[in-house]
């Protein structure tokens, strides 16, 4: 969206977004280092989703920046962040790339994580607007907020609605506070 200036060029408008977050290398027994020497030959757990920033894009960019080819590491791909954590806990990988959540401290030491990138932009919801259709924006935000309140994900439940002229009095106090 930024590369093509889509918001101004093509009239896309952000209607909601998720919080920014950090991406970490997480290990079971030592603090990971962001060096070629440390990572060389390690078993790395990643997500099998090329669109995942914390579990795929950011760590692959880090490997590229450090000059490490994928062939010099054993990369094990799984389908969820929880599966990454299970691989690490079982000792099937040396390190994983993921976000950190409060529940992780029950299984892993916060001392054994190293930030790769500290400000990963949260996903955003856009509408392409030919006109300023406030009713459409309000209806979409109502649906998104309802879905956010129904999810069991800590991250996706924290949807932030972008300011507009909607009367959102039915939304929770936390959502209204996050908008400010």
pLDDT for res 54: 92
Instruction: Provide the pLDDT for residue 31.
Output: 97
Number of residues assigned to the chain: 180
pLDDT at 9: 63
Does this model's pTM top 0.75? My answer is no
Residue 171 DSSP one-character state: S
Q: Which helix (H) or strand (E) holds 128?
A: strand 124-128
Q: What structural domains does the chain harbor?
A: 6-19+122-179 (no CATH), 21-120 (3.40.190.10)
CA distances from 52 to 97, 115, 149, 178 (A): 11, 16, 22, 24
Ordered per-residue pLDDT tens for the chain, 180 residues: 665 666 666 678 888 988 888 999 999 999 999 999 999 889 999 999 888 889 999 999 999 999 998 888 899 999 999 999 999 999 999 999 999 988 899 999 999 999 999 888 888 888 887 777 888 888 889 999 999 999 887 778 889 888 767 765 444 434 443 433
Closest CA to 155 of 77, 98, 76, 83: 98
Chain position carrying tokens 């309802």:
146
């Amino acid at each position: 969206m930024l590369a093509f200036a889509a918001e101004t060029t093509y009239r896309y408008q952000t209607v909601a977004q998720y919080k920014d977050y950090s991406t970490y290398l997480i290990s079971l027994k030592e603090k990971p280092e962001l060096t070629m020497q440390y990572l060389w030959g390690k078993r790395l757990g990643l997500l099998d989703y090329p669109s995942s920033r914390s579990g795929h894009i950011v760590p692959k960019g880090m490997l590229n920046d450090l000059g490490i080819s994928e062939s010099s590491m054993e990369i094990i791909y799984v389908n969820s962040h929880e599966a990454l954590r299970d691989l690490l806990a079982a000792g099937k990988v040396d390190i994983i790339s993921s976000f950190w959540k409060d529940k992780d401290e029950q299984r892993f030491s916060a001392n054994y994580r190293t930030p790769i990138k500290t400000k990963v932009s949260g996903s955003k919801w856009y509408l392409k607007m030919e006109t300023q259709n406030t009713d459409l924006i309000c209806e979409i935000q109502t649906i998104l907020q309802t879905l956010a309140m129904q999810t069991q994900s800590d991250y996706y439940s924290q949807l932030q609605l972008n300011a507009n002229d909607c009367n959102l009095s039915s939304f929770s106090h936390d959502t209204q506070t996050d908008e400010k």
